[in-house]
Amino acid sequence: MDIGRTNKRITFCRYEDKENEILQIEQVLTDAKTVWASVEPLRGREYQEAQRIRPELTYKVTTRYHTEVTPDMLIKFKQRLFQIISIINVREKNEMLEIMCIEKITEQKLDEAEEVAETLEKELANRNELE
């Protein structure tokens, strides 16, 4: 394992039941463990859900072996959450984990991307008019 490539800080999170002020049980996302890892995008795809196209990005996260990591956890990286799809113990040596996960783009992020695209189109049109 090339330790130099594990240059991103990620946090493994899990949902836990907590009692709130009015004695109701609610699920709260809590941090379980923070480690160094590499985060690499693999592919993007879009699928149609309720007549709206939903983008989905697949990532591979590589980190040292940790016994506490389970598929029901989430990974937090730079204000984003990734859902774990599978955890691979590379060569069954208990040295390295390859974690396949999905970042689902929220509607808010999608709206922000559309706004940026519109702004860029306007700037490009203005430049073309000036030339």
What is the DSSP track for 57-99?
EEEEEEEE--TT--TT-EEEETTEEEEEEEEEEGGGSSSEEEE
| Rounded-to-integer distance, Cα 122 and Cα 82, Å | 33
Report the pLDDT value the prediction gives residue 42, as an integer from 0 to 100: 84
Phi and psi, residue 107, nearest 5°: -60, -35
Looking at residue 112, what is its pLDDT?
64
The arithmetic mean of pLDDT across residues 102-111, rounded, is 67
In the chain, what are the domain boundaries? 3-105
The predicted-structure confidence for 37-58, as pLDDT tens digits, reads as follows 999 988 766 555 555 555 678 8
Average pLDDT over residues 117-125: 74
Task: Indicate the class that CATH gives domain 3-105.
Answer: mainly beta
Q: What is the pLDDT of residue 127?
A: 72
Q: What pLDDT sits at residue 53?
A: 58
